[in-house]
Amino acid sequence: MNRAERLAMIERMLFRNSAGLRAVEIARACGVDRRTIYRDLSMLDKMGVPLAQHEGRFFINREYYSANIRLNLNEAVALFIAARALSRHAEQQNPHLISALSKLASTLPEPLASHVNYIADAVRAHPIDRNFVLVLETITRAWLERRRVKLWGSLLRSGEISVHEFSPYFVEPTASGGLYAIGFDDLSQSIRAFKIVSIKRAKLLDSGYEIPRHFDRRHYLANMWGISGDGEGQTQVVLAFSTDVTPLIKERIWHSSQRIETLDDKRCTLHVQVADWHELLPWIRSWGAQVEVLEPESLRRELAAEAARVEEIYNRVAVR
């Protein structure tokens, strides 16, 4: 390969290896001697790649690194649509999403660029919770560097403030705007799904972790909404649907944990396991009187109280 190709290869290698690489390892991969690699690293530094060195290993400082990707028009528009959906439904606004939209606009022709910039400016006007952003950044870095993180927050079903040492395996959004960190929790000695908005503080730890080979992330990915839970964070939700919509319920996969049963009266029940039933509320409301919550009792009471408030409003309007 020529030098330009080698520089690009070294940059990719350093970016993908969070533990860093020694010059001899880079030289071996590129098929050149170490003196050539030292000159190449110096050139990358002059080109603006944020390099760092510690104990003989070379790193890229990811906090200041801008990755270069090439997108065709349809790929760029697809990313914009995904980012727009996230910005509309997210519980907390993310300034990095706004920055990404602005950069994406610079790659698009008119009139698409003006529209994306308009959306970025509109989202920028929304209030931002800086503590949420700091927690998300800390968890993202821990995920990237395979480092454990200490979490403080109301992360248990009891709502009490607790402290956890956590190994983040991945971060997953939900359709209703929630954002979860899924990984191994030392306190419960199990895989847990923690809602990031419930985390009040996060501290990066020096100790690392490895994801077990037998870990199957499909169990924790939702098909429609919510995140499947385990252990103390697990909640079973049972919904009964009217005969009118039973065929529709049966023909779709709504959640990775779902179990559907047909009742004697031709209705059907949908059983799912989620970490937080609040994620289901918008979806359940969309079915109106065609669905009844059977479990848990707390969700049933929540919707019953909501229905009573709606009835009170409409009765008051009728009197007028």
Q: The sheet that has 179-185: what strands, in order across it?
A: 190-195, 179-185, 162-173, 147-153, 199-208
Q: Are residues 117 and 86 in the same domain?
A: yes
289-294: list long-range contacts, CB under 8 Å, 24+ apart: 289/242, 290/241, 290/242, 290/244, 290/245, 291/239, 291/240, 291/241, 291/242, 291/245, 292/239, 292/240, 293/237, 293/238, 293/239, 294/238, 294/239, 294/240, 294/269
Q: Are residues 305 and 242 in the same domain?
A: yes
Q: Are residues 306 and 239 in the same domain?
A: yes
Check which CATH number belongs to the domain holding 44 and give it: 1.10.10.10
Q: What would the pLDDT profile of 168-214 be if each residue is shown by its tens digit?
A: 999 988 766 778 899 999 988 988 888 898 899 999 999 999 999 98
Is residue 228, in this structure, part of any structural domain at all? no
Is residue 239, in this structure, part of any structural domain at all? yes
Is residue 67, in this structure, part of any structural domain at all? no
Can you say how many angstroms the Cα of residue 160 is from the centroid of all Cα atoms in its chain? 24
Q: Are residues 136 and 212 in the same domain?
A: yes
This prediction has a pTM of: 0.68
Q: Where are any strands of DSSP class E within 97-234?
A: 147-153, 162-173, 179-185, 190-195, 199-208
Q: Under a CB-based contact definition with an 8 Å cutoff, are residues 131 and 200 in contact?
A: yes
Q: Are residues 150 and 107 in the same domain?
A: no
Q: Are residues 147 and 205 in the same domain?
A: yes
The residues of the chain scoring below 70 in pLDDT are 156-159, 175-176, 219, 221-233, 317-320
Q: Give me Rg for the CA atoms of the chain.
A: 25
Is residue 230, in this structure, part of any structural domain at all? no
Q: Under a CB-based contact definition with an 8 Å cutoff, are residues 6 and 40 in contact?
A: yes
d(CA 37, CA 6): 9
Q: Can you read off the two tokens belonging to residue 10? A: 């070294």
Q: Under a CB-based contact definition with an 8 Å cutoff, are residues 255 and 226 in contact?
A: yes
Amino acid letter, 290: Q
Q: Are residues 306 and 248 in the same domain?
A: yes
Q: Are residues 207 and 239 in the same domain?
A: no
d(CA 97, CA 103): 10
Amino acid letter, 94: N
Is residue 229, in this structure, part of any structural domain at all? no
Q: Are residues 148 and 207 in the same domain?
A: yes
Q: What would the pLDDT profile of 250-292 be if each residue is shown by its tens digit?
A: 988 788 788 999 999 899 999 988 877 887 888 899 899 999 9
Q: Are strands 147-153 and 199-208 parallel, antiparallel or unpaired?
A: antiparallel
Is residue 226, in this structure, part of any structural domain at all? no
Is residue 298, in this structure, part of any structural domain at all? yes
Query: Total structural domains in the chain?
Result: 4
Confidence (pLDDT) at 38: 93
Check which CATH number belongs to the domain holding 275 and give it: 3.30.70
Is residue 168, in this structure, part of any structural domain at all? yes
ω into 111 cis (within 30 of 0): yes
Q: Are residues 263 and 296 in the same domain?
A: yes
d(CA 166, CA 181): 9
Amino acid letter, 9: M
Q: Are residues 244 and 287 in the same domain?
A: yes
Q: Are residues 202 and 148 in the same domain?
A: yes
Count of H-run helices and E-run strands, the chain: 10, 12
263 lies in which domain range? 235-317
Q: How far is CA 291 from CA 72, 168, 259, 294, 300, in A?
A: 44, 36, 16, 10, 11
Q: How far is CA 221 from CA 36, 38, 174, 181, in A?
A: 46, 44, 9, 11
Instruction: Give the burial string for 252-268 (b: 16+ CB within 10 Å, else e).
Output: eebbbbbebeeeeeebb
> Looking at 94, 109, 124, which one is the last position of a domain?
124
